[in-house]
A and B are shown apart, each in its own frame.
Chain A
Amino acid sequence: MSVPAPVTRIVIVGGGTAGWMTAAALTRVLGDLPGLSVTLIESEAIGTVGVGEATIPQIIGFNRLLGLDEAQFMRETRATYKLGIEFVDWLRPGHAYVHPFGSFGIDMLGIEFQHFWLRGQQVGETARIDDYSIAAVAGKSGKFAWPRTDNPKSPLSKLSYAFQFDAGRYAKFLRGFAEGNGATRVEGRITQVRQDGESGFVTAVALEDGREIAGELFIDCSGFRSLLLGQTLGVPFTDWSKWLPCDSAVAVPCELGGRSEPLTRSTARTAGWQWRIPLQHRIGNGHVFSSAHMDRGAATDLLLANLDGKPLADPNQLAFTAGHRAKVWDKNVVAFGLAAGFLEPLESTSIHLVQSGIARLLALFPDTGFSAVERDRFNAETQREYLNIRDFLVLHYRASERDDSEFWRYCRNLEAPDGLAEKIDMFRSSGRIFRENNELFTEDSWLSVMLSQGICPQAHHPAAHMLDDAETRTRLAHIRDVIRQAADQMPTQAEFLRQSGGAIAAAEYLIA
C-alpha cells in the first residue's frame, strides 16, 4: 500500500506558446498540491516560432479551464473569431469551399443529414453542402454570434467557433496568468543537462551563469531542438514526410486588407499552400511548401505577391519535418509543442496538440515512481492522435484533381495510409463515416472535406428513401432557408466584437 511520493517539482524548458500554456494549466490545476513548484526556464536570446495562430473549438475548453475572461483574452491577443477554414483552389484552381465548425443540416429519422443531402442530389437539388452549415453561411457573410447550446431547436445550436490570435501575445498573456498563480520564470540559456547515472532520468539543467535547476518532472517545450527528449534522451523521430512532403514555410504579417470574415483561408499553391489568418490589427500569412518542388526564393516571392496588404516585417523562414517523436514521454521528460512533433497547420492543430498533451498529462499525472503503465498509455494515445490528424491532412492532398505540377502529381499518386484508405472507400461506397477512438475530427469535418474535394458516394443510407422526392426537396429547402435567415440576423464580426467588449481600441491599431 506504500506509494512513491508525489511529483512536486516541475521544470518547464522553453517559454513559447507550449511552455506558457503548460505553466498556466499546471499552476491552475495543481496549484494547491502541497509543496508544488513550477519553474519555467526561457531565454530572451532564443526566438519562439509562434506556431498556429489559428485554432479549433477545443481551445474554448482550455481557456475555460483557466477561467479566462473571453473579452479580455480577445483584446489582449488581438483575437478574431473563427467559424472554419476556407479552402481555395484545393480541388482544382478556381474552386473554393468552407470546412466549417459545427454540424451540417439536421439528422432525420435517426440517420445522418448527409444521406438526405445525397438523396437530394438524385432528385435535382443542386445546393452545396456548405449551404447547410450555419458556420459556413455566416462565415462567408462576415457574421458572427455565440452558439446557442441552450436551445437545440435554434440553428445556432449547430454552430461552434474558435479563435485566431497572436500567439506571441497569447504566450505573454498566459505568462502573466501563470506567474500570478505561482509559476517561477527563470531567464537563462541551458548549457547542460544532468542525468542520473543509473536510470538516465533528467535530474537538473545547468544554465550559462552556472545555476542549476533541479526537478522531478521535466517538460520539454524547447521547440524543434527538442533539447531534453530528442537531444538528451535520444528519442528518435518518426518521419512522415513521405505522406506530407511539405518541409518548409515562410511567414510574414501584413496590414489589414481584403475580405473581413471570421474564417482562416488556405489557398493551394503549385508546391504547397498559403495561409491567411486575419487578426484585429493585422493579417498573418505564410506559405508552406515542399523544398523538393520549389526553392525558397520562389516560395517567398509567391507569398509576397499574394498579400492583401503591405508586409509588416521581413519574411521569416522555417524548416521542418512532418512527424513526431516515437515516444513523447520518456523517463521523466514529457514534450509538448514542436519538441514533440510537427504537423503542418493546414487544419490549425498545433495549439490543440499542446492542449491535449497537457490534458493527457494531467489525467495520467505521475508520482516519483514514474510507472510504465501510465507512460505507455500516454504514448499510445499521443501516437494515435498524431496519426488521426496526419490522415486528415493527407486527405486534403489525396482528394484533389490537380495535376498541374510535379508536387500535385506526387500527392495524387501517394498511397493513402491504411486507415485513411478505408475511410475513403467506406464513404465512396455508401456515404458513411465512422469516427473511431474519439478521433479529433468529427464526422462533419470528414464529410466536409471529402464531399467538397470530390469524393462522391455511390449510395446513401437505404432508409433515406423513407422521405419521398417532394418531401426531400421541401425539407432541404426549409433547412437552407432557416440557416440563411439565422445568418442574416447575426451581427457582423466587427459589431459582435464591439458589443462583447472584445474589440481593441482604435489607438491600439497604431501601436500594434
Chain B
Amino acid sequence: MSEPNGIGNASRLARVVIVGGGTAGWMAAAALSRYFNDGRRTVTLIESDAIGTVGVGEATIPALRNFNAMLDIPEAEFLRETRGTCKLGIEFVNWGQVGDRYFHPFGNFGQDLHGISFHHLFLRERARCGGAEDIGQYSMSTMAARARHFARPAPGAQTVVNQIAYAYHFDAGLYAAYLRRMAERQGTVRIEGKITQVALDGETGDVTSVTLDSGAAIAGDLFIDCSGFRGLLIEEALETGYEDWSHWLPMDRALAVPSVSPGPPDPFTRSTAHAAGWQWRIPLQHRTGNGHVFSSAFMDEDTAQGILLANLETAPLSEPRPLRFLTGMRRKAWNHNVVALGLSSGFIEPLESTSIHLIQNGIARLFALFPDNPISPIERDEYNRGMRDIFEDVRDFIILHYKATQREDSEFWRYVKNMNVPDNLARKIALWQRHGRIFRENAELFSEPSWIAVMLGQNVWPAGYDPIADTLDEHKVAAAMAQMRVNYAEIAAKLPGHEEFLRQSGSWNLQAAVGQQAQALSA
C-alpha cells in the first residue's frame, strides 16, 4: 500500500479518497488525478446520486482561469459545456445608499503617472475641482461592462484593452460534470454509494476507511472531505469544531431560483442590497441564476421569498430552493488525514464570488504541501495557517461592504453599520481614510483596485491623497486623465457585444439557445 520514498522513513501516500462529488469533489479529483497519474497512486471519489449538491458559486473571479489552464481546458469548449459567460466584475446596487450603483471591476484603474498610483491622481483632481467624478470612467472593464461589450485582453499589444481582466459565470453542476469526465479519463475511480460508517484508527485517530450502504469498505491514506456543510469526515467523524463569524456576517439563509434569460447575457454579476441582505443575478447563456441571501434574525423566509420574486427581471423557472448556512470556518481545514474542501471547510457568502476560489486555493495549497505517510504535522499546520489567512482575507473584504454603508433604513443596516470589525480591517479602513492608501499584504486575494472600487463605490472618501501626488503639474494630470477617459470610452464602444464575442469564439452553446426559446415559450 505504500512504498518507500527513498529518503528518511517516509513512505509514499498512495490512496487518496474523495468523499462527495459536487464542485469541490470533482475539482479536486480532476486536479489530483492529472498530477498523480503515474500508476502508483489511486484517486477514488465516492458520491451518491441520492444526495443533492448545493452548486455554490456559479460566478467566479479571474484566478479560476489559472485553474482551468493548469488542467489544459480550452476556454471555448469550457464555456459551451457549462453554458458559461464572461464576467468583467460585479455591479453593486443600493449598497452605500439606496439608489447608489457602482461597479467593482476586474483589472486596474487608469494609468499610473511617474510612479504615482492613479487613484491618488483621481482623488487629487476631485479635491481640486470638487464634485463626485466617477472612477469607473477610468476602468476598461467597467466601461466595457456598461456597454455590455466584451473582449479578451491581447497580451503584447499596446492597448488599454489589456487592462481588462475577466472571470466566468457558469452552471456549477455542468462544470462538475465536465470535470468528472476529465477526472475519469485520467484514472479517477468513481464509486456510487452512500457512506454509512467512518472507521478511525484506535491509536492515531486517523480515518482508515469509509463503509458504504452496499457494505463495501473503501480504505485510504488521505481523505478529502467534499461532503458539503455537514462535514461528514472533518466534523461528524473527527469533531474538528467550527469558528462562528456570524456576529460580523449575520446572513444565514439563501433562496435560489433560476429565471428565464432576458436576452443577450450581461458580462457582469449584479448584487442588489435589500432590507436584510442582498440578491444576486448571474447571467448564463440559457438562463439567469438568482438568489436572495438574508439574515433570518432580521427577516422571515416568506418576506425574503417575496422580495426575491418581486425583483426578478423575468419569469422564474422553478420554485425557490432554500439554503441554510453559518458563516465561519472549520477550526482546522486539515485535521488528521482529512482535508476539507468547499463547504465542509467553511462558508462565506458569495458576495464577491469567492466560493469556488476557496476550493481552488485549497487544492493548490494541498498540492504544494502534498504529504507522505505518515503525514507531517509541520505541513498540515502550514496548510491550516494558509487557509485561515485566505478565509480571513475574504471575510474582511466582505465585511467591508456592510460596514461601509450609509444606510440606516432597517434594523439590519443599522446593526452592520455600527458593528465592530476585525482589527486588520479596522486598520485598513483607517489607513484609507487618511490619505487613500491601500496596501496589499502578503498574498492577499483582493488587490488594491478591488479595495479602491468598494471604498469609493460606497462613498468612503479619504480626507486626503498621497502628498507625493503634488509633485505633478495639475493641468498636465487633468489633460492626461481627460485623454484616458476618452480612450476607455472609445475603445469600449468598439468592442464586440458580449454574446457576439461568445458566438464568434465558438463558446456559444447552440442547444442551449434552442432550450432557451423553448423555456421562453413555456414560461
Chain A residues near B (Cβ < 8 Å): 1-3, 6-7, 29-34, 109-110, 118-119, 121-122, 362-367, 371, 373-374, 377, 422, 425-426, 429-430, 432, 434, 436-438, 457-463, 465-466
Instruction: List 4 tightest A-B contacts by C-beta distance, closest first.
Output: A458-B8, A3-B464, A32-B471, A122-B6
* New A-B contacts (8) at CB < 8 Å, excluding given A121-B7, A429-B376: A1-B463, A367-B464, A367-B467, A377-B427, A432-B379, A438-B442, A458-B9, A462-B372
Mask: chain B, 457-471; 1 = CB below 8 Å from A; 0 = not? 000010110111011
CA distance A109 to B10 in the complex (A): 22
Measured between beta carbons, the chain A residues less than 8 angstroms from B12 are: 462, 465
- The contact sample of 8 A-B pairs, CB cut-off 8 A, is A29-B115, A30-B471, A119-B6, A364-B437, A371-B435, A458-B10, A461-B370, A462-B36
Query: Given A422-B378, A462-B370, do A365 and B7 touch, yes or no (CB 8 Å)?
Result: no
Measured between beta carbons, the chain B residues less than 8 angstroms from A462 are: 5, 12-13, 36, 370-372
Residue of B nearest to A7 (CB): B467
Measured between beta carbons, the chain B residues less than 8 angstroms from A367 are: 435, 464, 467
Contact of B470 with A34 in the complex, beta carbons under 8 Å: yes
> Which B397-443 residues have C-beta < 8 A from chain A?
427, 430-431, 434-435, 437, 439, 441-442
B427 contact from A34, A373, A425, A437, Cβ within 8 A:
A373
Residue of A nearest to B370 (CB): A462
Max chain A C-beta neighbours (<10 A), residue from B441, B461, B468:
B468
B7 contact from A363, A438, A457, Cβ within 8 A:
A457
Query: Given A33-B468, A365-B466, do A430 and B378 touch, yes or no (CB 8 Å)?
Result: yes
Chain B residues near A (Cβ < 8 Å): 5-10, 12-13, 35-36, 38, 40, 70, 115, 127, 367-372, 376, 378-379, 382, 427, 430-431, 434-435, 437, 439, 441-442, 461, 463-464, 466-468, 470-473
Least CB distance from A152 to B in Å reads 14
Contact of B5 with A459 in the complex, beta carbons under 8 Å: yes
Measured between beta carbons, the chain A residues less than 8 angstroms from B70 are: 110
CA distance A365 to B437 in the complex (A): 10
CA distance A156 to B490 in the complex (A): 42
Query: Given A463-B35, A465-B40, do A430 and B376 touch, yes or no (CB 8 Å)?
Result: yes
Contact of B35 with A429 in the complex, beta carbons under 8 Å: no
Measured between beta carbons, the chain B residues less than 8 angstroms from A29 are: 115, 468, 471
Measured between beta carbons, the chain A residues less than 8 angstroms from B431 are: 373-374, 377
CA distance A422 to B464 in the complex (A): 42
Least CB distance from B82 to A in Å reads 24
Measured between beta carbons, the chain A residues less than 8 angstroms from B464 are: 3, 367
Least CB distance from A450 to B in Å reads 15
CA distance A458 to B378 in the complex (A): 13
Residue of B nearest to A121 (CB): B7
Query: Given A365-B468, A426-B378, do A459 and B439 touch, yes or no (CB 8 Å)?
Result: no
CA distance A458 to B4 in the complex (A): 12
Measured between beta carbons, the chain B residues less than 8 angstroms from A459 are: 5, 7-8, 10, 372
Measured between beta carbons, the chain A residues less than 8 angstroms from B371 are: 462
Contact of B376 with A109 in the complex, beta carbons under 8 Å: no
Query: Given A6-B470, A373-B434, do A109 and B372 touch, yes or no (CB 8 Å)?
Result: no
Least CB distance from A221 to B in Å reads 21
Query: Given A365-B467, A367-B464, do A436 and B442 touch, yes or no (CB 8 Å)?
Result: yes
Query: Given A366-B467, A462-B370, do A429 and B379 touch, yes or no (CB 8 Å)?
Result: yes
Measured between beta carbons, the chain A residues less than 8 angstroms from B115 are: 29
CA distance A377 to B435 in the complex (A): 13
Measured between beta carbons, the chain B residues less than 8 angstroms from A436 are: 442
Chief secondary structure at chain B's binding surface:
loop
Max chain A C-beta neighbours (<10 A), residue from B10, B13, B473:
B10
Residue of A nearest to B13 (CB): A462
Measured between beta carbons, the chain A residues less than 8 angstroms from B9 are: 458
Measured between beta carbons, the chain A residues less than 8 angstroms from B461 are: 1
Measured between beta carbons, the chain A residues less than 8 angstroms from B442 are: 436-438
Query: Given A373-B434, A374-B431, do A465 and B467 touch, yes or no (CB 8 Å)?
Result: no
Least CB distance from B220 to A in Å reads 15
CA distance A2 to B36 in the complex (A): 60
Measured between beta carbons, the chain A residues less than 8 angstroms from B10 are: 458-459
Measured between beta carbons, the chain B residues less than 8 angstroms from A110 are: 35, 70, 367
CA distance A31 to B40 in the complex (A): 64
Least CB distance from A467 to B in Å reads 9
Contact of A2 with B463 in the complex, beta carbons under 8 Å: yes
Measured between beta carbons, the chain B residues less than 8 angstroms from A422 are: 378
Max chain A C-beta neighbours (<10 A), residue from B7, B442, B466:
B7
Contact of A377 with B439 in the complex, beta carbons under 8 Å: yes
CA distance A283 to B376 in the complex (A): 48
Contact of B435 with A432 in the complex, beta carbons under 8 Å: no
Measured between beta carbons, the chain A residues less than 8 angstroms from B379 are: 426, 429-430, 432
Least CB distance from A325 to B in Å reads 22
Query: Given A1-B463, A7-B467, A437-B442, do A373 and B370 touch, yes or no (CB 8 Å)?
Result: no
CA distance A110 to B434 in the complex (A): 42
Residue of A nearest to B376 (CB): A429
CA distance A438 to B442 in the complex (A): 6
Measured between beta carbons, the chain B residues less than 8 angstroms from A374 are: 431, 434-435, 437
CA distance A434 to B368 in the complex (A): 10
Measured between beta carbons, the chain B residues less than 8 angstroms from A426 are: 378-379, 382
Least CB distance from A441 to B in Å reads 16
Measured between beta carbons, the chain B residues less than 8 angstroms from A465 are: 5, 12, 38, 40
Measured between beta carbons, the chain A residues less than 8 angstroms from B378 are: 422, 425-426, 429-430
Measured between beta carbons, the chain B residues less than 8 angstroms from A371 are: 434-435
CA distance A154 to B34 in the complex (A): 29
CA distance A367 to B464 in the complex (A): 10
Residue of B nearest to A35 (CB): B470
CA distance A422 to B463 in the complex (A): 42
Measured between beta carbons, the chain B residues less than 8 angstroms from A463 are: 35-36, 367, 370
CA distance A460 to B7 in the complex (A): 8
Contact of A122 with B7 in the complex, beta carbons under 8 Å: yes
Residue of A nearest to B10 (CB): A459
Measured between beta carbons, the chain A residues less than 8 angstroms from B7 are: 118, 121-122, 457-460
Least CB distance from B237 to A in Å reads 25
Least CB distance from A3 to B in Å reads 4
Measured between beta carbons, the chain A residues less than 8 angstroms from B6 are: 119, 122
Contact of B369 with A30 in the complex, beta carbons under 8 Å: no
Least CB distance from B299 to A in Å reads 36
Measured between beta carbons, the chain A residues less than 8 angstroms from B382 are: 426, 434
Measured between beta carbons, the chain B residues less than 8 angstroms from A425 are: 378
Residue of B nearest to A381 (CB): B439
Measured between beta carbons, the chain A residues less than 8 angstroms from B127 are: 1
CA distance A374 to B431 in the complex (A): 7
A466 contact from B13, B38, B472, B473, Cβ within 8 A:
B38
CA distance A426 to B369 in the complex (A): 10
Measured between beta carbons, the chain B residues less than 8 angstroms from A7 are: 467
CA distance A31 to B370 in the complex (A): 52
Measured between beta carbons, the chain B residues less than 8 angstroms from A121 are: 7
Contact of B467 with A373 in the complex, beta carbons under 8 Å: no
CA distance A54 to B215 in the complex (A): 69
Residue of B nearest to A118 (CB): B7
CA distance A483 to B145 in the complex (A): 48
CA distance A457 to B464 in the complex (A): 51
Measured between beta carbons, the chain A residues less than 8 angstroms from B466 are: 365
Contact of A109 with B35 in the complex, beta carbons under 8 Å: yes
CA distance A167 to B36 in the complex (A): 53
Residue of B nearest to A429 (CB): B376
